A and B are shown apart, each in its own frame.
Chain A
Amino acid sequence: AQKITQTQPGMFVQEKEAVTLDCTYDTSDQSYGLFWYKQPSSGEMIFLIYQGSYDEQNATEGRYSLNFQKARKSANLVISASQLGDSAMYFCAMRSRNAGNMLTFGGGTRLMVKP
Chain B
Amino acid sequence: AAGVIQSPRHLIKEKRETATLKCYPIPRHDTVYWYQQGPGQDPQFLISFYEKMQSDKGSIPDRFSAQQFSDYHSELNMSSLELGDSALYFCASRDTGVDYGYTFGSGTRLTVV
Q: Which of A33, A91, A103 contacts B33 (CB 8 A)?
A: A103
> Is there contact, CB below 8 Å, between B96 and A101?
yes
Q: Does A18 contact B (CB under 8 A)?
A: no
Are B99 and A105 in contact, CB atoms less than 8 angstroms apart? Answer: no
The interface of chain A, by Cβ under 8 A from chain B, is: 33, 35, 37, 43-45, 47, 50, 52, 91, 95, 100-108
* B42 & A47 in contact (Cβ 8 Å cutoff): no
Q: DSSP majority for the B interface?
A: strand
Interchain CB contact under 8 A, B109 and A33 = no
Verify if B69 is at the interface (C-beta below 8 Å from A).
no
Q: Let me know if A102 and B45 touch, CB within 8 A.
A: yes
Residues of A near B31 (CB, < 8 A) are 101
Q: Chain B interface (Cβ within 8 Å of chain A)?
A: 31, 33, 35, 41-45, 48, 55-56, 58, 88, 90, 92, 94, 96, 99-100, 102-104, 106-107, 109
Measured CA separation A102–B56 after assembly (Å):
8
Contact with B106, one of A37, A44, A102, A106 (Cβ below 8 angstroms): A44
Chain B residues in 8 Å Cβ range of A45 = 43, 90, 92, 104, 107
A102 touches which of B33, B88, B100 (Cβ 8 Å) = B33
Pick from A43, A44, A91, A100: contact of B42, CB below 8 A: A91
18 A-B pairs besides A43-B88, A45-B104 with CB distance below 8 A are: A35-B100, A43-B106, A43-B107, A44-B106, A45-B43, A45-B92, A50-B99, A50-B100, A91-B42, A95-B99, A100-B48, A100-B55, A102-B48, A103-B33, A103-B35, A104-B45, A105-B42, A105-B43
